[in-house]
Amino acid sequence: MSDKIAYSRDGDIAVLTVQNPPVNALSHAVRAGLWAGMDQAESDDGVRAVLIVGEGRAFFAGADITEFGKPPLEPHLPDLINRIEASPLLVVASMHGVSLGGGLEVALGCHYRIAVPSARVGLPEVHLGLIPGAGGTQRLPRLTGVEPALEVMTTGRHVGAKAAHDLGIIDVIKDGDPGKNGLAYAQKLLKDGAGRRAVSEMPPPEPIDWDAAFEATLARSKGQISPAHCVRAVQASVEKPFAEGLKAERQIFYDLMQTDQRQGMIHAFFSERAVSNLPELKGVTPRGLQHIGVIGGGTMGAGIATAALLAGLEVTLLEMSAEAGQAARDRIERNLSGAVKRGKITPNQHDQILTHTLVVVTNYEKLHDVDLVIEAVFEDMSVKKKVFGELDCVCKQGAILASNTSYLDINEIAASTSRPADVLGLHFFSPAHVMKLLEVVVADKTAPDVTATGFALGKMLGKISVRAGVCDGFIGNRILSTYRTAADHMILDGASPYDIDAALEAFGFAMGPFAVADLAGLDIGWAVRKRKRAEGLDPRARDTHYADKLCEDGHFGQKTGKGYYDYAAGPKARVPNPDVLPLIEAERAAQGITPRSFTHEEIVRRYMASMVNEAAKVVGEGIARRPSDVDMTLLFGYGFPRYRGGPLKWADIQGLPELLNDIKGYAETDPYFWHPAPLLEQLVADGRTFDDLNKEG
């Protein structure tokens, strides 16, 4: 038998203990071991029941995702589960930790299921671009009925033991050791003369309006196709005999396995976990973190403070005056009330945090014993340097001084202190207590343990932390600035902001770039344009001014009720602002441009080409460590559709030679903007992909 399954006997019960750390994924060796274990139990004299139990953190986390995309090896999981279910012995699953995907499907193939109260079950395959592929769509509806089964599998959510018990998925909940509980339960079942119980032999559930459910699921899934396919597979469980239903499920599973969405989502799954795994930090111990300082209590500072408070850290927030301090406290209180509503903290914890854990001060001296301080003040180098000068004077030795700047030079900020090794950038995204992305910006002199502490803080706050080097805009805003420019060029040439937003929302972005600009505030882009013009634009660069006019008239987007869109009917009921197109037309006329039409396809192609090209420069220059780090930045900070994996995964799937050709074609009319990234050219020349670079680590 495989070394992944330990076989033992306890009286007339055979115990199959799964030992495949960290999460007992159902790899080939595990499947083979379980099969052999069942064979052994059935031929072992006196065995009347089999207990399947997991060692370590989980029962099973599901199929081994690293095997996806490779030729499947026998025994296949559906066959193994059928074989377990068909056993003449009584088979009991004792579940703890998670039982997900194939893991829950194994449990559903067992005749009885017991779990500890903290156990969680689920069919999260939709998050990998798939549907449950080992009988889950056929067995679960037989146990729970169609609607609850569809809810579980189309959301992919984890269901707690009690709720799973209420749904009929778990028979018994019992606290204690899963092995001992399982044995006691199996013994009781044998003593009571309980018989084999196969879910596949249960009658199929009642049908629903399948087409309506399919369409509704598709509409809810924002371009992702796998959830709607769950509906078709469950439909088969009702309309076909069990074995035929399984075949239908398998076919859909295999069809989805061939899709770009499956590739994109599995890339996201692994990249999200790899992103904070930095070779440079192996063996580096982060500094202790208990007490955080925050400078500035505006939206960003209050959001950062909220995130830290929710993570259990003490926070001292500095504002310029008592009034500003009160306003900051009010903002934090509103954020925390939201957390109470979402069930993240109790009302009691809310009060406790506000009275004991948060301190608002107006004097730098009060920051003398913070472990790390994050500055979130106005984006102006002289203001930042003044703040860092003060911090340098008051903060204890070893305290980390961080800036939340979104584009200023951290090296210059660090050089203005007497301790540049303790300085780094921690770039949060607004609202900072909600958005998952954190760019950890490592300056030339940042000490390794300071970088490690930045990542440790990100982990405490539940963020996806990405290492970024110093440049204007770091990873995310630098790429954003380029694709926004590409969008502005298309507008000059004839597209409208509304066409562009529609094309990109259809591509899968949560919001198009102009709706995003309205949300963020048009004053931000205006300030950047003014800064860049003041620094001196290259004479070859195309500039646009129509959005300046909106700002000059006091229209900053959602916060003033008008921007590219008019929000008179509320933030979600946007309609185009009728003043915008005339402004654009006037600018085209002034620049002597004859507008042409753009298809949605061309809009997406140009927008994505600019994004990929800049991303390749960011990787090539070492600002991002690997392509997948850029992908995660765009996914978690910029609303890039997860099912496409990120811009560089998308580029690999499209084909890099074709993309480079497009870029070279665009360069014929605007060689300055469309300068191909050297890394992209190199990859094409070598016949390699961005993913090949990810694999190099």
Region of 133-141, 305-313, 628-636, 643-651 interacting with ligand CAA (CB under 6 A) = 133-141
Rounded Cα distance between 411 and 381, Å, is: 11
Among residues 61 and 604, whose Cβ is nearest to ligand CAA?
Answer: 61
Q: How far apart are CA 566 and CA 557, in angstroms?
A: 8
425 binds ligand CAA (CB under 6 A): no
Residues 458, 438: contact at Cβ < 8 Å? yes
Helix (H) or strand (E) holding 615: helix 600-620
Q: Find, among 502, 356, 478, the residue nearest to 408 by Cα.
A: 478
219-278: contacts with ligand CAA (CB under 6 A): 273
Q: Which letter does DSSP use for residue 549 in this model? A: H
Q: Which of these segments, 128-136, 226-234, 309-317, 581-589, binds ligand CAA (CB under 6 A)?
A: 128-136
CB of 219 to ligand CAA, least distance (A): 24
Which residue, 140 or 611, is less far from ligand CAA as judged by CB? Answer: 140
Residues counted in the chain = 697
Residues 486 and 662 sit within 8 Å (Cβ to Cβ): no
User: Which residue in 65, 172, 415, 434 binds ligand CAA (CB under 6 A)?
Assistant: 65
Minimum distance from residue 636 beta carbon to ligand CAA (Å): 15
> Are the C-beta atoms of 505 and 511 separated by less than 8 Å?
yes
Please tell me the distance from the alpha carbon of residue 479 to that of residue 473, in angstroms, as a whole number: 8
Nearest-CA neighbor of 233 among 249, 211, 221, 247? 249
| Among 54, 129, 133, 148, interactor with ligand CAA by CB under 6 A | 133
> What are the angstrom distances between the C-alpha of 402 and each of 19, 223, 364, 427, 646?
43, 39, 15, 9, 28
Contact 186, 51 (CB under 8 A): yes
- Site track 43-62 with ligand CAA (rule: CB under 6 A), x = hit: ------------------xx
Q: Is 124 in the site for ligand CAA (CB under 6 A)?
A: yes
Catalytic residue among 55, 67, 74, 105: 105
Residues 512-516: contacts with CB under 8 Å, at least 24 apart: 513/483, 513/484, 513/487, 513/607, 514/487, 514/563, 514/564, 514/565, 515/564, 515/565, 515/574, 516/639
**125 carries an active-site annotation:** yes
Rounded least distance, CB 136 to ligand CAA, Å: 6
In contact, 114 and 93? CB cutoff 8 Å: yes
160 binds ligand CAA (CB under 6 A): no
Q: Which is nearer to ligand CAA, 23 or 150 (CB)?
A: 23
Please select the residue that binds ligand CAA; options are 38, 126, 128, 153, rule is CB under 6 A.
Answer: 128
- Which residue lies nearest ligand CAA, judged by its C-beta? 101
Task: Name the residue nearer to ligand CAA (CB basis): 130 or 387.
Answer: 130
Piece of 95-103, 232-240, 297-305, 397-405 that binds ligand CAA (CB under 6 A):
95-103
- The answer to the question of residue 281 lying near ligand CAA (CB under 6 A) is no
Work out the number of other CB atoms within 10 angstroms of the CB of residue 603. Answer: 23
Residues 1-30 that bind ligand CAA (CB under 6 A): 22-23, 25
CB of 60 to ligand CAA, least distance (A): 8
**Dihedral angle of Cα 518, 523, 524, 526, to the nearest 10 degrees:** 110
Question: Is 116 one of the binding residues for ligand CAA (CB under 6 A)?
Answer: no
Q: How far is CA 592 from each of CA 586, 588, 596, 603, rounded to the nearest angstrom? A: 10, 6, 13, 22
Residues 358-387 that bind ligand CAA (CB under 6 A): none
563 binding ligand CAA? (CB under 6 A):
no
Residue pair 84/38 in contact (Cβ under 8 Å)? The answer is yes
Nearest distance from C-beta of residue 54 to ligand CAA, angstroms: 11
Q: Is 66 in the site for ligand CAA (CB under 6 A)?
A: yes
Segment lying near ligand CAA (by CB under 6 A), choices 121-129, 187-195, 255-263, 538-546: 121-129
> What is the closest distance, in whole angstroms, from the C-beta atom of residue 140 to ligand CAA in the complex?
11
Catalytic residue among 85, 125, 249, 319: 125
> Considering the rule CB under 6 A, would residue 102 count as an interface residue with ligand CAA?
yes
Closer to ligand CAA by Cβ: residue 105 or 371 = 105
Helix (H, G, I), strand (E, B) or coil at 203: coil
Instruction: Closer to ligand CAA by CB, 64 or 439: give it.
Output: 64
The reply on whether position 64 binds ligand CAA by CB under 6 A is yes
| Token pair belonging to 338 | 């939201």
- Contact criterion met (CB below 8 Å) for 339 and 354: no
Active site residues: 105, 125
Q: Which residues of the shown chain bind ligand CAA in the complex (CB under 6 A)? A: 22-23, 25, 61-66, 77, 98, 100-102, 105, 124-125, 128, 132-134, 136, 273
